[in-house]
């Protein structure tokens, strides 16, 4: 399952006490609207397990032109647009803020990205790297050291790297996605890190530290859990695991809506 070349990421920051069922009910209106329209563009919704209370929605495209085509088609569909507008109005009552960004896939900085079956995954470990201006070459060398070291030290580690190109959170920002079937993979990851260090050796570790100090301005790491009630996924995903991807959905409220990007979501 190859990562999409363009990834639209929408973030909803949720008011205290409004996460959980309250938010899932308003989000179900989007899922029902897209399902009723038999819309071809799918999206994955997730809940934060660390950091501020927020939800992420990921929408993948083959190109920026495909994203534009989806947006224009949504605008021309009066029934779908009206349903999404109603959904957005209700959902907005639960949020403190909202933003969106657009990422471009960096296959050259990714490790075994096509070995992951996202449909069978349940979590994303997401790392955000802010790179110092003018230090992209050091960053690329640093990532390739990780790719080479982990590629030799273990057969299971994998990730997909994206570069932020649009949105408030861009300019030297790279996002690394690591899909996991279970949080047990976090535990095993500590052991893999030791294997990676052994693979590097003293000289390699020294170079790794030099590159990190030179190019990495800031790094954040957070966990997100997939939420099937807030996702509109491909039929093949549902067929593969209907018990997870097709749970009972509570009736959506009469009011509700989401930004133009949501259909692109």
Cα–Cα distance, 126 to 103 (Å, whole number): 13
| Angle of the 136-153 helix axis to the 184-215 helix axis, nearest 10 | 150
* Residues 78-92: tens digit of each pLDDT: 999 999 999 999 999
So where are the chain's domains? 6-104+222-245, 107-220
The reported pLDDT for the residue numbered 252 is 47
Mean pLDDT value of segment 137-154: 96
Least confident segment among 42-56, 180-194, 245-259? 245-259
Between 116 and 251, residue with greater pLDDT: 116
Collapsed DSSP state (helix, strand, coil) of residue 55: strand
Beta strands in 94-159 (DSSP E): 95-105, 123-131
- 107-220: CATH topology is Alpha-Beta Plaits (3.30.70)
Question: Does 256 score more than 90 pLDDT?
Answer: no
What pTM value is reported for the model? 0.89
Contact indicator for 192, 157 with CB cutoff of 8 Å: yes
6-104+222-245 CATH pick, 3.20.130.10, 3.30.70.100, 3.30.160.20, 3.60.15.10: 3.30.70.100
Do the first three CATH levels of 6-104+222-245 and 107-220 match, i.e. the same topology?
Answer: yes
Of the pLDDT bands very low, low, confident and very high (cuts 50, 70, 90), residue 247 is low
Mean pLDDT value of segment 155-173: 92
Of the pLDDT bands very low, low, confident and very high (cuts 50, 70, 90), residue 155 is confident
Of the pLDDT bands very low, low, confident and very high (cuts 50, 70, 90), residue 160 is very high
């Amino acid at each position: 399952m190859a990562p999409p070349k363009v990834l639209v990421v929408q973030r909803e920051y949720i008011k205290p006490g409004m996460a959980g069922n309250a938010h899932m009910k308003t989000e179900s209106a989007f899922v029902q609207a897209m399902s009723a329209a038999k819309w071809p563009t799918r999206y994955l919704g997730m809940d934060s397990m660390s950091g501020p209370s927020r939800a992420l929605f990921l929408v993948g495209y083959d190109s920026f032109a495909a994203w534009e085509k989806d947006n224009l088609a949504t605008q021309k569909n009066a029934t779908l647009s009206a349903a999404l507008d109603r959904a957005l109005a209700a959902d907005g009552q639960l949020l403190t803020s909202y933003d969106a960004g657009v990422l471009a896939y960096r296959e050259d900085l990714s490790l075994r990205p096509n070995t992951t079956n996202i449909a069978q995954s349940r979590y994303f470990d997401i790392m955000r790297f802010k790179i110092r201006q003018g230090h992209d070459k050091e960053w690329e060398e640093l990532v390739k050291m990780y790719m080479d070291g982990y590629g030799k030290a273990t057969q299971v580690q994998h990730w997909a790297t994206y570069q932020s190109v649009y949105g408030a959170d861009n300019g030297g920002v790279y996002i690394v996605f690591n899909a996991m079937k279970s949080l047990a993979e976090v535990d095993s990851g500590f052991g893999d890190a030791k294997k990676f260090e052994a693979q590097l050796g003293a000289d390699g570790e020294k170079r790794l530290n030099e590159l990190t100090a030179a190019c990495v301005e800031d790094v954040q790491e957070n966990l997100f859990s997939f939420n099937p009630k807030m996702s509109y996924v491909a039929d093949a995903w549902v067929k593969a695991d209907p018990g997870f991807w097709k749970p009972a959905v509570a009736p959506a409220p009469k009011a509700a809506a989401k930004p133009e990007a949501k259909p692109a979501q």
